[in-house]
Structure 1
Amino acid sequence: MDIDYELYKIFYRVAVAGSFTKGAEELHITQSAVSQAIKNLESRLGTPLFLRDGRRIRRSQEGEVLFRHIAQGILNFSAGERSLKEMAGFDSGEVRIGVGDTICRYHLVPIFKSFAEAYPGIRIQVKNRTSSGILSLLRSGSIDFGIVSLPAGPGQYKIQLFRTVRDVFVASGRYEVLQNRSCDIDELVNYPLLLLNGESTTRKLLDHFLQSRGIKVVPAIELESMDLLEEFAKIGFGIAHVEELSVQRAISTGELFIINTEPALPERELGIVSLGATLPSRAANLMCEFILTREPVPSVY
């Protein structure tokens, strides 16, 4: 059977997007052209590839099997095209990175600045997601690599340690009774706690640490941003669990203080996560090496 790569490319984009409309937008063709291409491919293979429910679609069992077989091939084609474009040197190219708010702001912005100055011809595309969202982008081929809190969760990933960070509990003067002394972790959980939502890796690590001591936490406030946790702590809403680097400025100005817990919270690892043994382009490899060789710098925020 002759293989029409264009049909498979359209199928792949629709499958990843979960929508004929979004797939058409990404491919820069009309929705009717996408619909006709999928119909032709289904006719050629003799099986439905998508199950339709109004405007929503999902892959059929057969479509899921096909997707697993062709996904890596499509990604390899794309990587090959990008590598050829970069063979002349680093005057051009693109690197696509997935990263969360706090890691990006306090660890990567200075690195991105230095990289852009050293390689002005390489375009940096950053997609901001939670750790689980970053892994989803990685599996779909939407990014070259991601930087997440470890562990990365189930899946076949190549992981390189980027940095070790320390999380702390911080509070405003409203809780000065806890300042300048050691506070048992069992005592601390009796205060209103401001935590990241339960789906974040950072929160899961904290929950695991507390549960190992027989402590179950019901937070007063759950948020998706450490910056917001900091702001709520500043106005006295409770005690926030944040990365130490992210609150350096608030500590130096006296708006917040670090609570010395007993035992101290365990350190947490950040890692560069990718698929396969090699990254898909020279630009991605260059950026990865650049990130791994940079030392932490004090926050300017």
Structure 2
Amino acid sequence: MLPDLNRLRVFYHVYSLQSINMAAKNLHLTQPGVSQHIKKLEFEIKTPLFIRRHKKIIPTWAADKLFAMVKPFMETLGSEIKNISKPMDHPYGLLRIGAPLEFGKTYFPAICQAFRKKYNQVTFKIRLEEPDQLLDMLNKGILDFVVIDYFSAKDQFFGRPEQYKIDSLAEETFILASSKEYFENMMGKNISFETLMSMDFITDEHEPFILKHWFWHYFKKSISKFNIIMAIESHQALLNCVRLGMGLAITADHLIWNEIETGKIVPIFPTKEKVLNKISLVQLRDKKATLTEETFQTFFKKQIKAKENLK
């Protein structure tokens, strides 16, 4: 049996505010009334939710888990209930979208701004995370759809691609990037396997998976160790390290297109066959998209295609 929904609503406010007194004021209830709701909820789910200290409450592990389940529902309900009486013939309301960090930072601000010029009743909540985290949030209903990059559906979707609707948006080329000075002075313009393996590398991954993939693609050699002189979580910081001539790093060509064109950055291609990374829009196959989702997705695809054609 599900817990009383009104008690879950009270719990949501208590947890969010970390205060029974403040929750009581927000809900226009008495403090004892709020406390009684929490006690009854704890009885229903048969576990304590808060540890009481003097003038302070501390959420338990069970409270953290319950809040993670309740939060998406409460926040979606709060943002959508005001729109429930509006006509359904035009886009409106909140879109919850996920994307990789650099792709999201590069494309979403301008595209969302352009979309809102046409449909100003649409708002956005954008999550920028790793693909596996985005898929997890999609599966849990936290996101409406996601844009992810991956080498292959088999690798990325954990053997279950059939549960997703996957629409290809674009392909980006992964390059091993070097500053012009590093390429000329440190490498002597030599891109042999032996020379590359003696160079310094920068990565923004905990495990240099993409770097390993790049070397396997071109040299069919499995590399267990690189001379990584810096691991940094920001891709923009990684690119700055390349610009400074600290070493070599993997990036997508479109992120530094102008610098490649002007010769400031040298893309290294040991052979003509390039490493391609697919960008796709992914949603759950059994979820019916709303008019707002469909309209934005169509708009988004056109915007990405237009940007690709400008390269």
Matched, 1:166 2:169: no
Indicate the SS of the match to 1:267.
strand
Instruction: Output aligned runs, 1:83-162, within 5 Å.
Output: 84-85=84-85, 87-90=87-90, 92-150=92-150, 152-154=156-158, 157-162=164-169
Query: Cα offset for 1:170?
Result: 1.1
Structure with larger Rg: 2
- Contact 1:86-1:283 within 8 A present in 2 as well: no
Percent identical among aligned pairs is: 16
Structure 1: distance between partners of 2:51 and 2:165: 36
Cα offsets for 1:94-146 (capped at 9, x unmatched): 21222233212434444324322222232233233333443454355443222
Tell me which moved more, 104-113 or 282-291: 104-113
The 1:207/1:51 distance shift into structure 2, 3 A limit, reads farther
Query: Cα offset for 1:8?
Result: 3.7
- Superposed CA RMSD in Å reads 4.5
Gaps of 5+ in 1: none
Structure 2: distance between partners of 1:293 and 1:28: 48
Counterpart residue number, 1:58: 61
Tell me which moved more, 218-227 or 260-269: 260-269
Counterpart residue number, 1:48: 47
Query: Cα offset for 1:71?
Result: 9.4
Match of 1:195 among 199, 203, 216: 203
| Partner amino acid, structure 2, of 1:196 | D
Structure 1: distance between partners of 2:297 and 2:19: 30
Instruction: Output aligned runs, 1:1-301, within 5 Å.
Output: 4-9=4-9, 13=12, 21=17, 29=26, 36-43=36-43, 45=44, 47-48=46-47, 50=49, 55-59=58-62, 81=81, 84-85=84-85, 87-90=87-90, 92-150=92-150, 152-154=156-158, 157-172=164-179, 173-176=181-184, 183-185=191-193, 187-198=195-206, 203-208=208-213, 210=215, 213-218=221-226, 219-262=228-271, 264-275=273-284, 277-278=286-287, 281-294=290-303, 295-297=305-307
Indicate the SS of the match to 1:232.
helix
Query: Cα offset for 1:292?
Result: 2.6
The 1:102/1:71 distance shift into structure 2, 3 A limit, reads closer
| Partner amino acid, structure 1, of 2:143 | I
Structure 2: distance between partners of 1:109 and 1:77: 25
The 1:106/1:281 distance shift into structure 2, 3 A limit, reads same
Cα offsets for 1:147-170 (capped at 9, x unmatched): 122254447644332222111011
- Contact 2:204-2:235 within 8 A present in 1 as well: yes
Query: Cα offset for 1:234?
Result: 0.6
| Partner amino acid, structure 2, of 1:162 | L
Query: Cα offset for 1:270?
Result: 1.8
Cα offsets for 1:195-218 (capped at 9, x unmatched): 22126xxx5344345466221243
Query: Cα offset for 1:177?
Result: 5.7
The 1:27/1:51 distance shift into structure 2, 3 A limit, reads closer
Gaps of 5+ in 2: none
- Contact 2:91-2:295 within 8 A present in 1 as well: no
Cα offsets for 1:19-72 (capped at 9, x unmatched): 554699999947x777653421221x2611658698353238xx78x998x899
Indicate the SS of the match to 2:203.
strand
Instruction: Please give the TM-score of this superposition, normalised by the length of structure 1.
Output: 0.72
Size of the aligned set, in residue pairs, is: 288
